[in-house]
């Protein structure tokens, strides 16, 4: 019995060694199939050298100024804005300005009242200022929206000492007046900044959160895709001097939210659309947000941008050439058939290399 166990262990050791040396071709499968069987090993961090991608130049990670000029964005907010935008200010007080901080669209909200937007049961609020556009195309068309914003932390003030007072500033996907996604910088009085995704019609409203956000400048991204009747939204972010990162849950899984709601009956400023928002809640808060630029990517350019964002997370030189390792991502894939008793789901800890999974 001991001899059998010894040779069994030795055989498995040799098999794994051959895999790591590339002597055995990987039995690859589509990503969905790999996820289903669970035989995915993410190796220690490796880096890749993807093909040059001109779109990446639009999203430099090391910009120090909150308001820049020029560029090839959908809107640079350099003293004017695209005619597709419409201001939605349902309650007096908030203001948009293209001149207060040149190179930015600035949104200022006072603490004279709460400008909340949220719907759940009998609690229905639609008072937050929004800057919206509705040119993303039909529900069957994929798109990517990105924006870079800076929260002026010196502008933040609260009307009283309530720790439930707070704000949420960033992007909004307005499906209807009672169904919205809110994605951006979030804070309640006395707590630190966080990146937070919320959705109407659910409690808790939080879908996912990145806590301990030290930087008040961030690029936010939303990817919408349509397939087989499913309207899926995924989210990502980038801090200065850092790669794009997908929004994940507590288990490291990419957050995907499905909702095919789209109100086509409401017209005017409050019609369905995507864009920018600042909302405050409970007793409110005063704050100023500067938006440097905004991009709405549609059509064939969507895959191009997704490829660029994926590439931005895997830079420099790949040091692995053995076939089980995908040098575009640094991932190791192999389905071990015939060794069911010893299959394991491997993963690495912090620092592991993972491709941005926006392209499906």
Per-residue pLDDT band for 62 (boundaries 50, 70, 90) equals low
Q: What's the pLDDT tens digit per position in 175-220?
A: 999 999 999 999 999 999 999 999 999 999 999 999 988 889 999 9
The Cα–Cα gap between 63 and 241 comes to 8
Q: Token digits for 8? A: 């069994």
Three-state secondary structure call for residue 304? helix
User: Is-contact 73 55, C-beta < 8 A?
Assistant: no
Burial class from Cβ neighbours inside 10 Å (0-12, 13-18, 19+) for residue 194 reads middle
Torsion-angle region of 137 (φ positive above 0: left; ψ -120 to 50: alpha; else: beta): left
> In the predicted model, is pLDDT for residue 124 greater than 50?
yes
pLDDT number for residue 48 = 26
Mean pLDDT of the region 317-332: 43
- Comparing 50-64, 257-271, 340-354, which segment has the lowest mean pLDDT? 340-354
The CA distances from residue 140 to 213, 221, 236, 262, in Å, are 34, 19, 21, 12
Q: 3-class SS at 305?
A: helix
* Beta partners for residue 230, in sequence order: 227
Q: What are 217's two structure tokens? A: 């400048």
> What is the residue whose two structure tokens read 């959705």?
199
Task: Provide the pLDDT for residue 120.
Answer: 95
In CATH terms, 62-299 corresponds, of 3.10.290.10, 2.60.120.200, 3.40.630.30, 2.40.50.140, to 2.60.120.200
SS3 354: coil
3-state secondary structure of 269: helix
Burial of 294 (0-12, 13-18, 19+ CB in 10 A): buried
Segment among 46-50, 58-62, 85-89, 328-332 with least mean pLDDT? 46-50
Provide mean pLDDT across the span 162-166. 94
Distances from the Cα of 216 to the Cαs of 3, 31, 43, 95, in angstroms? Answer: 62, 35, 32, 20
Q: Where are the domains of the chain?
A: 20-48+314-359, 62-299
Percent of the chain clearing pLDDT 70 (strictly above): 68
The DSSP H or E segment spanning 168 is: strand 166-176
More confident residue, 325 or 262: 262
Q: Are 260 and 122 in contact (CB under 8 A)?
A: no
Q: Identify the helix (H) or strand (E) that includes residue 220.
A: strand 217-227
| Mean pLDDT score of the chain | 77
Q: How far is it, in rounded angstroms, from Cα 232 to Cα 140?
A: 11
Before 204, cis peptide (omega within 30)?
yes
10 has pLDDT over 90 = no
- pLDDT greater than 60 at residue 26: no
């Amino acid at each position: 019995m001991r001899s059998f166990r010894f040779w069994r262990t030795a055989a498995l050791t040799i098999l794994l060694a051959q895999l790591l040396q590339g002597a055995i071709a990987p039995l690859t499968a589509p990503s969905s199939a790999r996820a289903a069987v669970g035989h995915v090993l993410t190796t220690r961090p490796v880096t890749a050298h993807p093909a040059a991608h001109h779109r990446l130049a639009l999203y430099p990670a090391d910009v120090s100024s909150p308001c820049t000029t020029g560029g090839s964005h959908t809107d640079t907010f350099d003293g004017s804005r695209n005619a597709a935008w419409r201001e939605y200010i349902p309650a007096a007080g908030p203001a948009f300005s293209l001149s207060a901080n040149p190179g930015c669209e600035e949104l200022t909200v006072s603490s004279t009242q709460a400008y909340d937007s949220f719907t759940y049961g009998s609690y229905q609020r639609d008072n937050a200022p929004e800057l919206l556009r509705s040119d993303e195309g039909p529900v069957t068309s994929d798109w990517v929206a990105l924006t870079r914003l800076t929260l002026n932390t010196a502008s933040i003030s609260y009307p009283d000492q309530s720790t439930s007072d707070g704000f949420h500033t960033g992007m909004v996907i307005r499906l209807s007046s009672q169904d919205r996604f809110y994605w951006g910088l979030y804070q309640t009085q006395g707590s630190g900044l966080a990146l937070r995704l919320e959705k109407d019609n659910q409690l808790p409203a939080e879908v996912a959160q990145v806590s301990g956000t030290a930087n008040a400048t961030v690029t936010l991204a939303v990817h919408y895709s349509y397939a087989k009747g499913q309207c899926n939204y995924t989210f990502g972010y980038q801090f200065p001097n850092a790669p794009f990162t997908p929004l994940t849950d507590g288990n490291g899984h990419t957050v995907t939210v499905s909702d095919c709601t789209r109100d086509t009956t409401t017209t005017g400023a409050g019609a369905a659309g995507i864009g920018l928002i600042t909302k405050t809640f409970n007793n409110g808060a005063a704050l100023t947000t500067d938006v440097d630029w905004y991009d709405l990517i549609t059509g064939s350019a969507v895959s191009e941008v997704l490829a660029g964002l994926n590439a931005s997370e895997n830079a420099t030189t790949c040091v692995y050439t053995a076939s089980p390792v995908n040098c575009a991502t640094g991932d190791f894939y192999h389905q071990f058939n015939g060794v069911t008793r010893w299959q394991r789901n491997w993963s690495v800890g912090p620092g592991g290399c993972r491709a941005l999974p926006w392209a499906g």
